[in-house]
Structure 1
Amino acid sequence: MSAPRCMAARAPAAAAPVAVCRPPGRGQPARPRASSAAAPSAAPPAAAELTARLRALAGSQYGHDLDASRRAEVEAVCAQLAALDCAEPSAAPGETWRPLYTNSTGNSSGKLGPFITDVEQIFPADEPGIYYNVSRLGPITAQLRGKCAVSGRRVNLEFENVSLRLGPWQVSKKDWAPGQMRGHWAAEYWDADTRVFKTNKGSLFVMVRKD
């Protein structure tokens, strides 16, 4: 799939131009891909309507509280966002993200037995290229540390360690050898406030930036 092009579309005379995303090849040639270090842009109008619909549909437990019909609605909206062809991953130092929806049933799903954990993805400003996936349930905190690097429409991951804490005490920690544990996120839609991607295991995630 070619790189997306966000271009100015002429609005009525009284309005300023607005940004829309559409695939290259219609009218002018595609512009060169922006640097992956640049901040992602705000959602264009068509996407803003869809991301608002995602937030309205997704429930409050990362999708685990939805029935099959509602989950299908959420994933249909994700497919519409992917069709806009606006998926330019970028670094996010200093930002924290939280899951809005996932169809994963694995360790990263935010569900532990009957319990829903409080999940955050933290990209520290003072540790560029590092991210933490933190899950909290009462006094229990599980933290995964990994490296992340943008490559085209993928964010490549290399996991370094996972630790478990009970209150202030570290209960356990497991380190992995370099290159032992890897994965990736394949971006389907990406803006300053919303990310839709699939993992290397095929799980769908919708993440939203935490204020």
Structure 2
Amino acid sequence: MTRRATSAGAASGQPGAGAGDSEAALLKDLRSLISETGQIGVDADETQVDKIEAICGKLEAFQKGEVLSGIPLRGKHNLLYSMAKGGSNGKLGPFVGTVQQEFIDDKKFINSVSLGPLKIKLQAVREILTDQSVRVKFEKTSVSLFRNRLVDKETKGQGVWKMRYFNEDPNVGRRIRIMDTPSLFIIEEAY
């Protein structure tokens, strides 16, 4: 179960947490940087990318040794930031769409990119490997335009995603997930 992110490094007893950096303050700083860069991290300037990665590393230290991959995931989760190249970050040519993960059950989920009437869905299944990692296998891709399905095909591919941080952000009251897929992805629950 996730806990509220309110503790300061030394006061929380969490090893490796930055002295004086509370989780809430780090999450606030992270959101501020992401609002400057936007969701497409590969287009951000190197200084901003380094700052975001540094904050993610500090947040990760708060949950060192915790079981993150087994936390139940439900509903929709919105992409805040991605260092992935290609369509999974929401960038389609010069356009940027909305990226969501929708969890169907403990194993099945859908990654989707929406850009106006265009919607691309990638169905996948996840398998817990360790306390911090899951194997994701992609099964099917569908493309629709104005809700008319244009493409529906089997998809091959898989990868191991490392869960780095998963906790409630007290600044906004939503859980935030930081993971390497292997590129940095930051996602929050949608309400």
Which deviates more, 131-140 or 98-107?
A: 98-107
Identity among equivalent positions (%) equals 28
The aligned counterpart of 1:79 is: 57
SS at 1:58 equivalent:
helix
**Given residue 155 of structure 1, which amino acid in structure 2 is its aligned partner?**
V
The aligned counterpart of 2:189 is: 209
- CA deviations over 1:13-67 (Å, ceiling 9, x no partner): xxxxxxxxxxxxxxxxxxxxxxxxxx43332422222112111110233436632
Alignment partners' CA distance in 2, 1:205 and 1:169: 30
Unaligned runs of 5+ in 2: 8-21, 169-174
The aligned counterpart of 1:181 is: 157
SS at 2:76 equivalent:
strand
Tell me whether 1:138 sits opposite 2:116 in the alignment: yes
Distance 1:190-1:71 versus aligned 2 partners, 3 A rule: same
**Correspondence 1:68-147 to 2 at 5 A:** 68-86=46-64, 88-124=68-104, 127-147=105-125
TM-score norm. by structure 2 comes to: 0.78
**Given residue 42 of structure 1, which amino acid in structure 2 is its aligned partner?**
R
RMSD: 1.9
Structure with higher helix content: 2
Alignment partners' CA distance in 2, 1:156 and 1:189: 17
**Contact 1:62 1:99 survives alignment (8 Å):** no
SS at 1:191 equivalent:
strand
Alignment partners' CA distance in 1, 2:132 and 2:75: 20
**Given residue 145 of structure 1, which amino acid in structure 2 is its aligned partner?**
Q
SS at 1:146 equivalent:
strand
Give the number of aligned pairs. Answer: 166
**Given residue 198 of structure 1, which amino acid in structure 2 is its aligned partner?**
D
Alignment partners' CA distance in 1, 2:2 and 2:62: 15
Q: 4+ runs of 1 displaced by more than 6 Å?
A: none
Tell me whether 1:41 sits opposite 2:3 in the alignment: yes
Looking at CA atoms only, which structure, 1 or 2, has the larger radius of gyration? 1
Alignment partners' CA distance in 1, 2:87 and 2:107: 23
Give how far 1:83 is off. 2.3
**Correspondence 1:143-162 to 2 at 5 A:** 143-151=121-129, 152-162=131-141
Alignment partners' CA distance in 1, 2:112 and 2:23: 28
**Contact 2:82 2:183 survives alignment (8 Å):** yes
**Contact 1:40 1:90 survives alignment (8 Å):** no
Give how far 1:108 is off. 1.1
Give how far 1:134 is off. 0.9
Alignment partners' CA distance in 2, 1:209 and 1:43: 15
**Contact 1:141 1:164 survives alignment (8 Å):** yes
Alignment partners' CA distance in 2, 1:43 and 1:112: 35
**Contact 1:96 1:122 survives alignment (8 Å):** yes
Give how far 1:68 is off. 2.2
**Contact 2:109 2:124 survives alignment (8 Å):** yes
**Given residue 139 of structure 1, which amino acid in structure 2 is its aligned partner?**
P
TM-score norm. by structure 1 comes to: 0.71
**Given residue 203 of structure 1, which amino acid in structure 2 is its aligned partner?**
S
